[in-house]
Structure 1
């Protein structure tokens, strides 16, 4: 940490918040919920009120407001009153004045608002931590939503994120728990994701990409961006009529069958993760609206998650195993994608806890919000047993947790695992059929042709080498140099032992022969041989007893 004057204030704010909530009952509640502790206070009475927590986060800065928004979608961590209070942060932040909005738009787009739009409402429709949304109408008559980024918001975000990164690094150095839960990697992923969300041009491209990828799902709607009036700080897109799914009238659920919408929603997000590799990473209930045409509109696509191809296959295996409650396959996939130190990790305990989770998860409906929560619990269980799972699995868990909430609102008795299982089977069949396409078969034929062309030549070479006794097999099982050195050392010591024995025997035979040259009355040659043998013998003993301690490995 660098204690420069400009950093002191952000450290002060961070530690003020930390001290206030460090031993609070709400943190105790969140910790117990995270660890799956059954002893959780369900009274709903806490020392710090939900409104107080919301106001504290507002005072901290935009990055902390965004964290509050993310926490508002985590029923696995916070009680209902706190979730509702934090939801205000999604679209109820102090607005910026119209003059500032006008200045930002005209600077970014290069034209006046009055020239670009036939109508433009100066009162914002919503105001969030990064920007605010105004409603307008193009001269063509098309109704649009215009999102304007707050001034200097990137610099403020970077300041807050730098503080979090520095605190995470400090925690990893001084806390075993921080290392277990890979806190620095989580903060780094948050930093990457949030900074991407600040680029409205990237969000416009996300809208186009995900709209194209989801075009087969008729019950899903993604607004198109108006690229002529969009920059890195201004985003103009189709206006979406409708309301948040959380505000849906309960009678509508009874009168209308919303299961087709839920089917498309679940399948659409599974496709994004497993097939496309790019998924909307923040589908919380506030970002999914239901339109008068009975479609689900996906909003705020600034935050996306990337899933590499190899990870897509593993996720497909994991999701299929979860849908079938196959604990052995779940454990197999988790072990394949994890990293751990065999000497520290408690593998058997991890497997036992995962098996218990899968068993307990059977027969749960969407109203229990189990799918995303289950993967989150798996991450925590892995950390507790010194096993590290990929950060992308955390992103998957967050997506599924948000989906669980939406599904629970639209159709509480919906069996999400049945849809997952059916979709996984469809994907596997599609992959198999894809292998049978003419292009795939042609590639296979070409590879087979190459193999067939090379085979006679290679077989002829092998047979010729065998006939000439020139066939060699190279097998690397040990360190040959080290083995040779060790063998040579043994041979040398055996030779020295033979020489010592010969010298002693020779000296013993010579000592009976009288000579004129004597030492202490004994034949000199015999005594010299005895001394040389003794010196060599003590040297060998020294090498074996003292030096060989350095060559145990």
Structure 2
């Protein structure tokens, strides 16, 4: 790592921000609240106001705005006033001038806006950290939303990420906290996510995939892209008229029962997690819109999570046991999927998990416990020297956002019970899928390979057995260390016998007259006593201070 002169302004900006907030009451309270420590106090007035924090993040640039957006979805960490202020980062950003928007669109799609569209609204529908959205109408009369990427945003992101990664590397190298929470791995994952969000072609493919996976859910809509009008910097997709799900008026909530809608939303996300392995990973309220016909639209597919088949199995078991409040089994599953060293405090980790699960028993959606619980489990794992896969944190973030949405639309909704019911259905569907002809054919092929090679392998084993040439390699104890230990014991016993013999011999020599004397005693006897004393002291020292 090298800190170059041309990058000094970025380092100075970053360090100024950290110095301002590092020892602030807000950050200290946030850290305590995350683990629900006894030192956590109620939120009150802090040195930095919510508006000041928002302005500071805006001054830092688009990467930090993105981090602020992520913080705005964390009610477990920040007070409401700060959440509300940070939420404005999702839709209250400087607008890209229309002449720049026009230049980007025409360059990307290769034609004039006036030829490609009947109308193209100059005022944006929304403005975000990466781009902004304009309403337009195709020549066919179809209304579309055109998302245009901010000019130069890729370079700004990469510059800021490079700064953060360098600082994270220093933290990992020189601080225990940096090592414990693997700041460098976190920043590596952030880089991967942000680069994906900057590629609108990838987002278009994500929209198609999710739309296909959720086509059976009638109350859910995934706006589809218009391929001919989509590039890596311009994304054109179907326009759906709605508003943020948290913008629903209290009157409408009293008139409508949103429980069936919430139930379908939860089932759809569980299917994504444990069946498809392809998940909309950023379902914060700004990306979930309620339409006029009481349907839900899933927006912004820039951030998706992909779970392997093995991870899907782990998460399926984890969610089932969360729904049953089985802390012991949850700890077992987390340990099965994690990496940990011999120094890991597994006993303490199990105790923490059991306490967390028990404390969250009987919670409802308005308590927002499920996602928060998973995030706290991840923190407990880090404290106890256990490294959980990043998939657990992604699942926690998804469920945390789901908790927010459910708490707003159906406060008394029992998420744990819904998970139990829907997971049973998904497990049955998963089993039927695995028993499909193509899956059975794959199993038959593997069985055929085993049957073909089994006689040959059995023949080799029996032949070696007949020739007394069959050997087994057992990875057990360290034989060399064991024999060295026995040898050390034997040496100590032998040395002890020699010292005892010298003392006995010296005692016998004391009665034998001699012309050679030391301190008036027979000299040879005194020499044997001194040698025995030195050897005894050395043996005692090595036993007490050097033996492992």
TM-score normalised per structure 1: 0.84
Whether the 8 Å CA contact 1:34–1:76 is kept in 2: the answer is yes
- Give distance in 1, aligned partners of 2:174 and 2:462: 64
Structure 1 residues 43 and 169 mapped into 2: Cα distance closer, same or farther (>3 Å)?
closer
Contact 1:182 1:388 in 2 (8 A): no
8 Å Cα contact 1:165-1:184 kept in structure 2 = yes
Secondary structure of residue in 1 paired with 2:310? helix
Counterpart contact for 2:69–2:89, Cα < 8 Å: yes
Would you say 1:424 and 2:423 are equivalent positions?
Answer: yes
Q: Is the 1:462–1:471 Cα contact (8 Å) retained in structure 2?
A: no
Q: Provide the rounded CA distance (Å) in 1 between the counterparts of 2:214 and 2:103.
A: 36
Name which of 467, 474, 477 aligns with 1:476: 474
Q: Kindly provide the CA deviation profile for residues 490-516 of structure 1, in whole angstroms up to 9, marking residues without a partner as x.
A: 9xx9xxxxxxxxxxxxxxxxxxxxxxx
For residue 393 of structure 2, what is the aligned residue in structure 1? 394
Q: Which structure 2 residue ranges, 5 or more long, are not aligned?
A: 492-538
What is the match of residue 110 of structure 1?
110
Structure number, greater radius of gyration: 1
Distance 1:460 1:282 in 2: 57
Match of 1:259 in 2: 259
Question: Does the 8 A contact of 1:196 with 1:202 survive in 2?
Answer: yes
The answer on whether the counterparts of 1:185 and 1:391 sit within 8 Å (CA) in structure 2 is no
d(CA) in 2 for partners of 1:380 and 1:463? Answer: 53
Give the Å deviation of 1:428. Answer: 2.1
Match of 2:146 in 1: 146
Identify which range, 435-444 or 75-84, moves more after superposition: 435-444
Q: 1:472 to 1:78 in 2, by over 3 A?
A: same
- What do the CA deviations read for 1:373-427 (whole angstroms, capped 9, x no partner)? 0010001111111111111211111111111101111111111111211222222
Q: Residues 251 and 5 of structure 1: is their aligned pair in 2 closer, same or farther, counting only changes over 3 Å?
A: same
1:179 matched to which residue of 2? 179
Please give the secondary structure, in 1, of the residue aligned with 2:241.
coil
CA offset at residue 47 of structure 1? 1.3
CA 1:383–1:443 in 2, change beyond 3 Å: closer, same or farther? closer
The 3 A distance-change label for structure 1 pair 173 and 425 is: same
Q: How many pairs does the alignment contain? A: 494
Cα pair 2:131 2:148 within 8 Å, conserved: yes
**Is there any run of 5+ residues in structure 1 with no aligned partner, and where?**
494-544
State the distance in 2 between where 1:459 and 1:365 align. 59
Q: Which residue of 2 aligns with 1:195?
A: 195
SS of aligned partner of 1:315: helix
Match of residue 246 from structure 1: 246
Which residue pairs with 1:508 in the alignment? Answer: none
d(CA) in 1 for partners of 2:8, 2:478: 60
Which residue number corresponds to residue 20 of structure 1?
20
- Structure 1: distance between partners of 2:30 and 2:462: 71
Q: Mapping of 1:27-176 within 5 angstroms?
A: 27-176=27-176
Contact 2:180–2:382 (CA under 8 A) maintained in structure 1:
yes
Alpha-carbon separation, structure 1, partners of 2:231 and 2:351: 52
Q: CA RMSD in A?
A: 2.7
Cα deviation, 1:469-489, whole Å, max 9, x if unaligned, reads: 657343435799979x99xx9
Alpha carbons 1:219, 1:260 under 8 Å: kept? no
For 1:88-136, what per-residue CA distance to the aligned partner results, in whole angstroms no more than 9, with x for missing partners? 1001101011111111111111111111111111011111111111111
Tell me the TM-score normalized by structure 2: 0.84
Is 362-371 or 27-36 further displaced after alignment? 27-36
For 2:341 and 2:456, how far apart are their aligned partners in 1? 46
Distance 2:256 2:345 in 1: 50
Give the 5 Å matches for 1:207-356: 207-343=207-343, 345-356=344-355
Q: Distance in 2 between matches of 1:67 and 1:116?
A: 35
Post-superposition CA distance 1:17-39 (Å, at most 9, x none): 11111111111221111121244
1:219–1:296 Cα contact (<8 Å) kept: yes
The change in CA–CA distance for 1:168 and 1:480 in structure 2 (over 3 A counts) is: closer
Secondary structure of 1:401's partner? helix
